[in-house]
Structure 1
């Protein structure tokens, strides 16, 4: 029997100092419109009419000389510190039940203490003056609130909300703590020297954290609960054909509680969320030594992921007092909740494949020539938890689309938007390398993405704000020469 035990302690601190600077072109529009230089409506927060937020109607035609209020840019400073104390004790035992059967059992207790401190976000007006605390420890009647450094004025310069008269606020502080017992149990069966089967269960844990990058209001700095996953797996590993063929296969099922992730709502605001869901799949790996100098490899993966139902999101939408970003698996997008239940996990491609080959025609101990090539396929996936956005009140663009009764396009609002909603994936990427080693020196020629595949591994939904998507193209075809000398 083998036993192992131990303890762990860790402490980390992150100091963040950010300078938000969005929509700065609006400064020019306001200047050209002749608005008051101190007019201040960052991203339209005082005029967007968000249900449940009183300040979102401070600026409206009635308070703005009968005119729809224009938004201004978002300029400011954001500072905060996050710290975490983490400690754990753990132990694991391995016992041979028989000559072919081995059991492994392990347990771990982990405790994490998180703290968000000195949280201050200050918005500036177009003159660069500090105008508003959006995140601080300031409260009104016990409720966290904005602190107006300067009075809020309309486009004509008339005061709509006077400046706050209380002393300047301090930094926002939040505390959060989590602890969990996790562990694993594995049963290995080795009927022959070249074959092993196994079945395993494990529980994983990721500590909670704070949605610290939020800068619009103090209530957005909330504690994200910890993530837990119950993982079940059964598999086999075997060597065949005089050890020339290595074949592995595994079936797995993961049950997530509070899977942590990020979602970008229709205002392009990124927030952390924790969702329940399941993921199951199959992985197959093959490696074959076709000759003494040629090694072939292949792998395939298949995934099926799905978030649990969020419940009655429509009932939540009927109550304007609900301001939380997430309630169950109902996630807010703009002013409404959408049920992400049934949607797949972000970036979880349904299928993936890898092929590779290594050919070494020369290898005499001092000189070695190696040809390598590999190709990887990534199947279709969605960029975030909202899936194809068909259930999300996001797309507000009026675009010409044909109707069933007329060939003449008419202006309608689409249910599903552009490339972001369509998702990514469904592409192959091929790489190659040729290397020659002589003595301590190696010279190599390599190329990545040889067929210059155009694909987008990352995207953010921004259609309702800018009329287009923010999608990031992967690196195009690249190639180079590498020289290496080992001393």
Structure 2
């Protein structure tokens, strides 16, 4: 009843006190807020957000700064129906993105599985979950697009997209620098500096460093660093060459280095009678009739608080991530040409002590070395007396990833993982025709051809006990050392109709299709041996592509003399061959679960009730259900809830600006809150990893000088010190454990920023 009352109150507050999303609000004349027009390029042309007939939430850099959002991982605090976790289950990495939009996403971080939501930075697709929990470097804006994307993006994505755009070098010397101190010895520094070399050669350098102690204490090793820390540095260099009025050439190069402790996972539940703890307790130790009485036995005695562990494994979450991209814009008169060429390289190393105890029950170590190359060509223009706006694109992508995954369990040690080779080729077209001044039709079509290959390099490193009196010798291959290939080619259409009822009200409807290709299961145990005469590649397990058909209707409006905005979108999606992550024997694997439907809505509103007062927020509702299930979905029932798909998300915020008078500056207090209803953190709905609905509050007090050259922000995150799960992994079947990662407790920060 308390949760229902809270939800109802939040909804009433949202619509009576005016909800807002995707709206940048600036101070005007030092004492008042005004609604600023946001320009987005979701359809590959500059448009006002309110005139773009798709479900999109957009933020500018200033809006995110006001919300205390300095990483893409915190966007779900202000975006309806978006879930973003930074420590994907089983990864051990502090920077393994797990992103869901409207219930569509992917929690697996392995290179054999693609994400369900695409992340794009300056037009470049980031293929791997590791390293995708990005900090912002001189951000201009970010857009969250819901539903299948493909007729406008280089790489197709089934669930939606996060489109991040950085600021280009400016023609004048200047920039900004900031320092943040805070809880747990936090020290963040950052700077952005523009260096114009000449009128047609502009450069910019951006750099940042984030440092903060972790918050999960190791009780087994009291002097060990705490888990969940920040220790990262990033640098980005940009060069903009303007050789003529018709040509822009932008070169971006970036590098990120992280040297952190493992993800802040802790032990939540234990069953010492399961296979791996049973082998340790009964065979290795022997004196475990009452496991809790003997510290050498694996038992519930090692379940601590949400912020303690008993791990003795070496802790690490390390990333080196860099890339170079060149974007050419060439205006050829009737046709514009845009070329985006990019190369990226990722090296990652992370460890995970899944049992969180001073003995080996289940521990992993992952090394990933991945590189990717992509080339996109876009042709665009106007035709038929400017009534037709069109875009056509060609796309090529290839990647190679080598994942060495070492698994140390009580019965033995083996190497998992292998070599992944993928390529993606596509052609897409999208055109908008103005039937009348108010009626617009957009149609798009994409053809995608994708090839994937996986060569498992998996072998037992020690003899492994496979049962009473059964031992598999060291050197045995877990899977055949051969390449298995798969391919898919699909046509995916898009149709949108919009009508401008008035200057301030637009309605629209959209039909779109999307898909995500299949992949391979790299986590296998015990070994699979091909039968005599059988093709060895046939025994390498794999799964099929998944498909979604999405229907959406909505409207966007402005009212009350431009002091209010209300945007609403309702959707219905048919999902087939849905890919989910389940626990099969030893490991978590991706399977095709069956058919499902998702329906719901998002509402986003901004209102300026009185001068100086701004109230923002948003609401999202999601009803996701299975319609039929495949036998592959072991442990999932027709009534199971989707993972990472809360039914309700309600956010709200309020800010009031005072001009202190006499040139003393401007003071702005602000409070932000988001209510998230119950979240199931795995597909089989393990009770121990279900997070009940909770309310998260953040607050800040901002002071700006009258000349706007200095800005000081005192902020508090998780104001009520709420304890809640971010992600979790359950392996009760063989591992006898459940682990999870809780969010940081309450913390404060003080930021000083100067502009020059």
| TM-score range normalised by the length of the shorter chain | 0.5 to 0.7
Inter-partner Cα distance in structure 2 for 1:297 and 1:240: 16
Inter-partner Cα distance in structure 2 for 1:296 and 1:463: 45
Q: Could you list the runs of 5+ residues in structure 1 that have no partner in the other structure?
A: 24-71, 126-130, 133-150, 311-327, 333-337, 389-417
The alpha-carbon deviation at position 167 of structure 1 amounts to: 12
Check 1:217–1:278 CA distance in 2 against 1; reply closer, same or farther (3 A cut): farther
| SS of equivalent to 1:229 | strand
The alpha-carbon deviation at position 297 of structure 1 amounts to: 1.4
Aligned equivalent of 1:5: 392
The alpha-carbon deviation at position 465 of structure 1 amounts to: 4.6
Contact 2:717–2:746 (CA under 8 A) maintained in structure 1: yes
CA displacement 1:188-243 (0-9 Å, x = unmatched): 01110000001110111222222224454348842221121101001111111111
Aligned equivalent of 1:350: 647
Aligned equivalent of 1:484: 753
The alpha-carbon deviation at position 281 of structure 1 amounts to: 0.5
CA RMSD of aligned residues (A): 3.0
* Counterpart among 420, 424, 430 of residue 92 in structure 1: 430
Aligned equivalent of 2:460: 123
Is 1:17–2:404 an aligned residue pair?
Answer: yes
Is 1:173–2:483 an aligned residue pair?
Answer: yes
* Counterpart among 500, 512, 537 of residue 202 in structure 1: 512
Inter-partner Cα distance in structure 2 for 1:259 and 1:426: 26
The alpha-carbon deviation at position 329 of structure 1 amounts to: 5.2
Inter-partner Cα distance in structure 2 for 1:220 and 1:445: 58
Quick check: which has more Rg, 1 or 2? 1
The alpha-carbon deviation at position 307 of structure 1 amounts to: 1.2
Aligned equivalent of 1:316: none
Aligned equivalent of 2:696: 429
Inter-partner Cα distance in structure 2 for 1:454 and 1:483: 29
CA displacement 1:325-364 (0-9 Å, x = unmatched): xxx25423xxxxx453232211211111101112222399
| SS of equivalent to 1:461 | strand
Inter-partner Cα distance in structure 1 for 2:723 and 2:485: 45
Query: Higher relative CO (CA 8 A, sep ≥ 6), structure 1 or 2?
Result: 2
Check 1:162–1:363 CA distance in 2 against 1; reply closer, same or farther (3 A cut): closer
CA displacement 1:41-76 (0-9 Å, x = unmatched): xxxxxxxxxxxxxxxxxxxxxxxxxxxxxxx2x322
Is 1:271–2:589 an aligned residue pair?
Answer: yes
| SS of equivalent to 1:419 | helix
* Counterpart among 442, 445, 449 of residue 107 in structure 1: 445
1:300-449 superposed matches below 5 A: 300-310=619-629, 328=630, 330-332=632-634, 338=635, 340-362=637-659, 367-387=665-685, 418-420=687-689, 423-438=690-705, 439-449=708-718
Check 1:217–1:369 CA distance in 2 against 1; reply closer, same or farther (3 A cut): farther
Is 1:455–2:724 an aligned residue pair?
Answer: yes
Contact 2:399–2:421 (CA under 8 A) maintained in structure 1: yes
TM-score, normalised to structure 1's length? 0.67
Inter-partner Cα distance in structure 1 for 2:694 and 2:641: 19
Check 1:359–1:217 CA distance in 2 against 1; reply closer, same or farther (3 A cut): farther
Inter-partner Cα distance in structure 2 for 1:248 and 1:20: 49
CA displacement 1:288-327 (0-9 Å, x = unmatched): 11233221112211111111222xxxxxxxxxxxxxxxxx
Contact 1:381–1:424 (CA under 8 A) maintained in structure 2: yes
| SS of equivalent to 2:657 | strand
Inter-partner Cα distance in structure 2 for 1:167 and 1:195: 64
Number of equivalent positions? 356
Contact 1:264–1:460 (CA under 8 A) maintained in structure 2: no
The alpha-carbon deviation at position 7 of structure 1 amounts to: 0.4
Contact 1:304–1:344 (CA under 8 A) maintained in structure 2: no
Inter-partner Cα distance in structure 2 for 1:236 and 1:168: 54
Inter-partner Cα distance in structure 2 for 1:431 and 1:182: 41
Q: Could you list the runs of 5+ residues in structure 2 that have no partner in the other structure?
A: 1-387, 529-537
| SS of equivalent to 1:184 | strand
Check 1:245–1:330 CA distance in 2 against 1; reply closer, same or farther (3 A cut): same
The alpha-carbon deviation at position 366 of structure 1 amounts to: 10
Check 1:263–1:190 CA distance in 2 against 1; reply closer, same or farther (3 A cut): same
Inter-partner Cα distance in structure 2 for 1:234 and 1:166: 56
Contact 1:214–1:220 (CA under 8 A) maintained in structure 2: no
Inter-partner Cα distance in structure 2 for 1:14 and 1:380: 36
Inter-partner Cα distance in structure 2 for 1:152 and 1:93: 60
Check 1:195–1:234 CA distance in 2 against 1; reply closer, same or farther (3 A cut): same
Contact 1:214–1:221 (CA under 8 A) maintained in structure 2: no
TM-score, normalised to structure 2's length? 0.44
Contact 2:725–2:743 (CA under 8 A) maintained in structure 1: yes
Aligned equivalent of 2:87: none
